[in-house]
With several copies, the nearest count.
Chain A
Amino acid sequence: MKVTVKYFAVCHEMLNRSEEEMQLPEGATVRTILKRLEEEWPEIAEFYEVMQMSVNWEYATEDTELSEGDEVALIPPVTGGTDV
């Protein structure tokens, strides 16, 4: 199956792209994507702890199962609103 993966903010900078299509095996989960990114760029794994993931605009876990056409995103720590 094919999913779209989106990278924002620091992830965008780290991976040098904002979005890509990924071909995944049946039964793939969010973890499948994280492992694939780690192979490409090992340093990204240290940020996984502080990051969240989303599937189709909803927060997801590493175990969330994926389906054809899903939109997955890596969500760095949110800093919208204001600091004050």
Chain B
Amino acid sequence: MFKITDKIITGSEVREAVAAPDAGAIVLFLGTVRNNTDGKAVQHLEYEAYPPMAEKKMAEIAQEISDKWGIHRVAMIHRVGKLEIGEVSVAVAVASPHRKDGFKACKYAMNRLKQIVPIWKREVWTDGEAGWVKPDAVFFET
């Protein structure tokens, strides 16, 4: 499952997508909306995506994981639209026979997701200002 959604993410979608009777380890990562970015108070977030390309890139990351660790059960979902504090923006689940590889693969998936999956974040701060952010910086205030 590689999916862009505008619905609430619970984590169970990705977990159920990777469950298998021969996989004893499931590592699940949930990214949630924090109430601040580098101390700046966040009111809410807005995510936008290029869905077909995003889902294709997610599938490519899963293929990389399969090549690297022989782990074939990876699922990723990312939400778009307006997200409130505490809501889940992204969920990645990896099921593997060994937990050590599962942790590595899940971490790898998140790192790659930030690099190559076309999804953008706009922060709306409590001071009424807003901006599109790029990794570690405000990219363009609006």
Given a CB threshold of 8 Å, the question of whether A touches B is answered with yes
Number of interface residues of B (CB under 8 A): 41
Task: Map CB proximity to A onto B24-57 as digits: 1 under 8 Å, 0 otherwise.
Answer: 1100000110100100000000011110111010
Quick one: given A8-B48, A76-B134, are A81 and B110 in contact (CB under 8 Å)?
A: yes
CB <8 Å contact, B34 and A79: no
- In the complex, what distance in Å separates the CA atom of A10 from the CA atom of B119? 12
Q: B125 contacts the other chain (Cβ, under 8 Å)?
A: no
Q: Indicate which residue in B50, B98, B142 contacts A84 across the interface (CB closer than 8 Å).
A: B98
Chain A interface size band reads 20 to 34
Taking CB atoms, residues of chain B closer than 8 Å to A80 are 47, 49, 54, 78, 90, 113-114, 117-121
CB <8 Å contact, A84 and B31: yes
Residues of B in contact with A (beta carbons under 8 Å apart): 24-25, 31-32, 34, 37, 47-50, 52-54, 56, 78, 89-90, 96-99, 102, 110, 113-122, 132-136, 139-140, 142
Other contacts beyond A8-B48, A76-B132, A80-B118: 17, CB < 8 A: A6-B50, A9-B48, A10-B140, A12-B48, A50-B134, A54-B53, A57-B50, A58-B56, A76-B134, A79-B121, A80-B78, A80-B120, A80-B121, A81-B31, A81-B113, A82-B90, A84-B97
